[in-house]
Amino acid sequence: DGGITQSPKYLFRKEGQNVTLSCEQNLNHDAMYWYRQDPGQGLRLIYYSQIVNDFQKGDIAEGYSVSREKKESFPLTVTSAQKNPTAFYLCASSIERAGVNTGELFFGEGSRLTVL
C-alpha cells in the first residue's frame, strides 16, 4: 500500500547531539513537508520541498536542516542549535491532480523526539 513511513517512532537525544528523522514515501508525490506539533498549538511548518534538490524554509526552520536528493525521501536533521527540540514531528506529502497541488496533505505516523 502507498504511504509515508517515518522512523524512528520514538527517539531520545542528549543535549548537543544532532539527530536525523527519516521520511520515505511511495506515493510519487512531488511536494513534501515537515511539521512540528506541540501540545496546545497548531502544526508549524519547518521546511518544505516541491521538487528534488530544492527546498524552502518554513516558519520555524532555525535549528533544522533537510535534504531532498530523491523524490521518495525527505530526511530532517534536528541540530544542536535547536533550543527546544522535544516535540512530535510529522512528515507529509501533498496530493496533486493534473499537476496542481490540491492541498490535501497525507501524513506519516510521526516521530516523537525527547531531549534528555
Partner 1 sequence: EDQVTQSPEALRLQEGESSSLNCSYTVSGLRGLFWYRQDPGKGPEFLFTLYSAGEEKEKERLKATLTKKESFLHITAPKPEDSATYLCAVQAQYNFNKFYFGSGTKLNVKP
Residues in the chain: 116
Residue 53 interacts with partner 1 (CB under 8 A): yes or no: no
**Contacts of partner 1 in 1-30 (CB under 8 A):** 4, 6
- With residues binned 3-state (H G I as helix, E B as strand, rest as coil), the percentages for the chain, rounded to 5, are 0, 55, 45
Q: Give the residue, chosen from 48, 64, 68, 113, that forms a contact with partner 1 under the rule CB under 8 A.
A: 48
Q: Give the residue, chosen from 43, 52, 60, 61, that forms a contact with partner 1 under the rule CB under 8 A.
A: 43
Q: Which is nearer to partner 1, 3 or 81 (CB)?
A: 3
HEC string for 47-60: EEEEECCEEEECCC
**Contacts of partner 1 in 60-89 (CB under 8 A):** none
| Binding residues with partner 1: total (CB under 8 A) | 28
Sheet holding 76-78, edge to edge: 4-7, 19-25, 76-78, 64-66
The set of residues, in sequence order, having a beta carbon less than 8 Å from that of 40 and lying 6+ positions away, is: none
Q: Give the residue, chosen from 50, 65, 73, 86, that forms a contact with partner 1 under the rule CB under 8 A.
A: 50
Binding site for partner 1 (CB under 8 A): 4, 6, 31, 33, 35, 40-45, 48, 50, 56, 90, 92, 94, 101-110, 112
